[in-house]
Chain A
Amino acid sequence: MTAQIAVFLVLAAVAVAGAISLILQRHPIHSALSLITVMVALAGLYLLQGAEFVAAVQIIVYGGAIMVLFVFVIMLLNAGEEERTNMSSMAHYVGVPLGVVFVIEMAYWIGRATLHMNARASGVVSTRDLSNLLFREYVFPFELTSFLILIALLGALVLARREESE
């Protein structure tokens, strides 16, 4: 159990450090690399809780496919370094207090919740269980979600194509 906690602490620290670095880095590629670190650390956390399939898919979909597209677009556009500016007064007086309130609220509710720290406890362990849930019990929301994504995809295509036809 102690080894598990040690691994959890390391992965959590890496994830948080990656997230902070994502915001602080000035070059888009470095930010993207930080985000990849966060994704991989999250996959490790999933693995720690016994959710093997989700962990692998997390790396394949987020770490591999989506972030590769990010990096690819940044490379293609040859985006330069971002300039650092002072915070706007709006961010200063509204954003910072709201952020602090949000963090406190999150800490309060997470502290009160009884978390299932193990995927095995919920009974969904193997790929087979997961697919049974997705394609039997929750098949309607699942298909609806894919339909929504399709609509978003078509919408993006229409918006991007409009200039060409005129």
Chain B
Amino acid sequence: MNEFAVQHPILAVALPKIVVLLFVLLTALAYLTWFERKVVAHIQARWGPYRVGPHGLLQPLADGVKFLFKEDVTPAGADKFAYFLAPFLALSLAITSIAVIPFGPKEFSVFGQSTPLSITNLNIGLLVLFAITSMGVYGVALAGWSSNSKYPLLGGLRSSAQMVSYELALTMSVVGVILMAGTFNLSEIVNAQQGFHWGFVPRWNLIGWPFPQVLGFLLFFTSAVAETNRAPFDLAEAESELVAGFHTEYASFKFAMFFMAEYASMITVSCLATILFFGGWLSPFPQTPIWAWTHYIPAAAFAAAGLALIVHGVRYITMFGRVVLPVLGLALCGLGVLCGQPGMLDFVQGPFWFLLKIAIFLFIYVWVRGTLPRFRYDQLMGFGWKLLLPLSIVNVVLTSLAIVWTQQ
């Protein structure tokens, strides 16, 4: 097997990595819908999904099965080719972008081949992400146009105009980070953020030297929310005006593909925000011996979550829940014990902090959706062109000045 891996690194190493990441990503997508419904429900003082499985944990599964078995209607007069192409384009582009995201600093070995914790490590990783984002408009635009229906057409036009406008601010807002790191490589951008101010405040780009990218981050996250067509910028699917916007005429699994594409781009944007502004996989604690106990945080967090789940699970209202929840809790405890092993201790640091930061961003995404009302269309365009874009240019100029100033 090891000889085979040496001869065919793509088949033996890259392919298993892709399959595993795809599996994890699609599961995460499914449970992100559950997470969003739960959080929004609690913001609105409701319970959210509760019936399918304990705490509605099997709801994504039920939804998936439902999507598969719905009738797949193609509207009369639709442009067949573009109508089929649009959801595939949207989903495949959204999923492809995860390939350049690095999840941790350590290498691990597959069949004796050492390989980094990402599908690929490109010198132009950030540019590739923007290239994929810029192509993502077609899924929405084609879906709206090919449905041969007025609401999708209007929704498609709206959202393609919106995505093109906010792409400018999105790209300009990260130029500050690129200037400070001096590279497009995402791993190197993270490595450039190592170190601490005064020994304990992490030098992440958000509060980095020479010019803190606070403005850059706010601009980036705002335009990224708009770019992914999420509330409060979800004018493409404003229910009160456009029924459901560009995917009104889509049913069954093609609709599910748009749905998954939206959540996949949420995950990508959260990854990108973490990498660019919040130090990616870097731990927020210094690596000096006094702080060595922080290495046990992942293990402790998993074990505590597992114990809480067991305690809660044994008193759950249904018999099924009393079995499933403690088992899940035991699994989490096991994960915690595994993370505490001396061999694993170093390896899990990167992925743990990275995933934790992503989870926080995903929560903010849902929080924003549950809190802010939708923009009006002219407000949206004015906001993008007259406020975000000029501010992002100001950020670029100030960052460049600060860098030139400190280099002299």
Q: Which residues of A contact B (CB under 8 A)?
A: 27, 29-30, 33, 36, 40, 43, 52-53, 55-57, 59-60, 63-65, 68-69, 71-72, 75-76, 126-127
Closest beta carbon of chain A to B272's beta carbon, Å? 15
Q: Give the docked Cα–Cα distance between A53 and B81 (Å).
A: 32
Closest beta carbon of chain B to A4's beta carbon, Å? 14
B130-138, B210-218, B370-378 - interface stretch: B130-138
Residue of B nearest to A64 (CB): B134
Q: Is the CB of B82 within 8 A of A127?
A: no
Q: Is the CB of A68 within 8 A of B134?
A: yes
Closest beta carbon of chain B to A51's beta carbon, Å? 10
- Asked if B280 is at the interface of the complex by the 8 Å CB criterion, the answer is no
Q: Give the docked Cα–Cα distance between A46 and B82 (Å).
A: 27
Residue of A nearest to B145 (CB): A75
Chain A residues, Cβ within 8 Å of B206: none
Q: Which residues of B contact A (CB under 8 A)?
A: 79, 81-82, 85, 122-124, 127-128, 130-131, 133-135, 137-138, 141-142, 144-145, 153, 156-157, 160-161, 164, 167, 184
Q: Is the CB of B160 within 8 A of A56?
A: no
Chain A residues, Cβ within 8 Å of B160: 68, 71-72, 75
Q: Is the CB of A64 within 8 A of B131?
A: yes
Closest beta carbon of chain A to B324's beta carbon, Å? 45
Q: Give the docked Cα–Cα distance between A36 and B122 (Å).
A: 23
Q: Give the docked Cα–Cα distance between A71 and B156 (Å).
A: 11
Given the contacts A64-B134, A64-B137, A72-B141, A29 and B127 also touching, CB distance less than 8 Å: no
Given the contacts A57-B127, A68-B164, A72-B157, A29 and B145 also touching, CB distance less than 8 Å: yes
From the candidates B134, B142, B144, B157, name the one contacting A65 in the complex (CB within 8 A). Answer: B134
Q: Give the docked Cα–Cα distance between A126 and B167 (Å).
A: 24
Excluding A52-B122, A68-B138, 6 further A-B contacts by CB distance (< 8 Å) are: A30-B82, A59-B135, A63-B134, A64-B131, A68-B160, A75-B144
Q: Give the docked Cα–Cα distance between A69 and B164 (Å).
A: 9
Closest beta carbon of chain B to A116's beta carbon, Å? 21
Q: Is the CB of B127 within 8 A of A53?
A: yes
Q: Is the CB of B164 within 8 A of A36?
A: no
Chain B residues, Cβ within 8 Å of A64: 131, 133-135, 137, 167
The 6 listed contacts between A and B (C-beta, < 8 Å) are A29-B142, A36-B138, A71-B141, A72-B141, A76-B157, A126-B123
Q: Is the CB of B124 within 8 A of A127?
A: yes
10 A-B pairs with least C-beta separation: A64-B134, A56-B127, A59-B131, A52-B124, A75-B145, A60-B131, A68-B137, A56-B124, A56-B131, A60-B134
Given the contacts A30-B81, A36-B138, A72-B160, A63 and B123 also touching, CB distance less than 8 Å: no
Q: Which residue, of B123, B128, B135, B161, has the highest number of chain A Cβ atoms within 10 A?
A: B135
Residue of A nearest to B164 (CB): A68
Q: Is the CB of A63 within 8 A of B135?
A: yes
Q: Give the docked Cα–Cα distance between A27 and B123 (Å).
A: 39
Q: Is the CB of A65 within 8 A of B124?
A: no
Chain A residues, Cβ within 8 Å of B164: 65, 68-69, 72
Closest beta carbon of chain A to B92's beta carbon, Å? 13
Given the contacts A36-B138, A53-B124, A63-B135, A75 and B81 also touching, CB distance less than 8 Å: no
Q: Is the CB of A60 within 8 A of B157?
A: no
Closest beta carbon of chain B to A100's beta carbon, Å? 32
Q: Is the CB of B157 within 8 A of A75?
A: yes
Residue of B nearest to A47 (CB): B124
Closest beta carbon of chain A to B286's beta carbon, Å? 32
Closest beta carbon of chain B to A96's beta carbon, Å? 30
Residue of B nearest to A67 (CB): B138
Q: Is the CB of A29 within 8 A of B124?
A: no
Q: Is the CB of B138 within 8 A of A71?
A: yes
Q: Give the docked Cα–Cα distance between A163 and B130 (Å).
A: 38
Q: Give the docked Cα–Cα distance between A27 and B78 (Å).
A: 13
Residue of A nearest to B10 (CB): A3
From the candidates B85, B128, B141, B184, name the one contacting A75 in the complex (CB within 8 A). Answer: B141
Q: Give the docked Cα–Cα distance between A57 and B131 (Å).
A: 7
From the candidates B82, B133, B134, name the one contacting A29 in the complex (CB within 8 A). Answer: B82
Closest beta carbon of chain A to B404's beta carbon, Å? 14
Q: Is the CB of B138 within 8 A of A60?
A: no
Q: Give the docked Cα–Cα distance between A56 and B127 (Å).
A: 6
Given the contacts A29-B79, A29-B145, A52-B122, A75 and B134 also touching, CB distance less than 8 Å: no
Residue of A nearest to B136 (CB): A64
Chain B residues, Cβ within 8 Å of A59: 131, 134-135
Closest beta carbon of chain B to A28's beta carbon, Å? 11
Chain B residues, Cβ within 8 Å of A127: 124, 184
